[in-house]
């Protein structure tokens, strides 16, 4: 089975701190994604990557950056955390299944910014 592992399930940070969220997938998938999930809203795409060293902005990239130095690892960086970045962050990788690009998600990283 494809496994997507997010390094931290729960983090508490202070405003202004730099935050790294790490994600590793073990099935050689080309595509990786970072989403945030907030109550009452659909998943919102922050950044995605279709290849090593490649990144594309999603719908809400402001305040975030990403790094993909190796195929299996996609990191989300908050340069200076703010309280409005308190959220659940979900990493995903994808593969084609019967013509569909199916996402496999990690368990999520719940970030609280104080």
Q: By CB under 8 A, is residue 1 in contact with other proteins?
A: no
Minimum CB separation of residue 78 from other proteins in Å reads: 21
Quick check: 45 binds other proteins (CB under 8 A)?
yes
Cα separations in angstroms, 114 against 11, 16, 19, 75, 85: 11, 10, 13, 22, 10
In sequence order, the 6+-apart residues with CB closer than 8 A to the CB of 84 are 113
Q: Would you state the structure tokens that stand for residue 91, as one six-digit string?
A: 């990493």
Give SS3 for 62. Answer: coil
Instruction: Select from 13, 27, 8, 26 the least CA-distant residue to 89.
Output: 8
The residue among 13 and 44 lying less far from other proteins, judged by its C-beta, is 44
**Contact pick of 13, 43, 71, 86 for other proteins (by CB under 8 A):** 43
Candidates 34, 76, 105, 109: give the one binding other proteins (CB under 8 A). Answer: 105
Select the residue interacting with other proteins from 8, 30, 44, 63 (CB under 8 A).
Answer: 44
60 in contact with other proteins (CB under 8 A): no
Instruction: Tell the smallest beta-carbon distance from residue 26 to other proteins (Å).
Output: 15
Residues of the shown chain interacting with other proteins in the complex, contacts defined by CB under 8 A? 4, 40-45, 58, 90, 97-108
């Amino acid at each position: 089975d494809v496994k997507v592992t997010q390094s931290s399930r729960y983090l508490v940070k202070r405003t202004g701190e730099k935050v790294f969220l790490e994600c590793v997938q073990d099935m050689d998938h080309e595509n990786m994604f970072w989403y945030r999930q907030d109550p009452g809203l659909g998943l919102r795409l922050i950044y995605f990557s279709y290849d090593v060293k490649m990144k594309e902005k999603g719908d809400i990239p402001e305040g975030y950056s990403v790094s993909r130095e190796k195929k299996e690892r996609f990191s989300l960086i908050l340069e200076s955390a703010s309280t409005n970045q308190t959220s659940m962050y979900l990493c995903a990788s994808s593969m084609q299944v019967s013509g569909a690009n199916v996402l496999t998600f990690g368990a999520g990283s719940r970030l609280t910014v104080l």
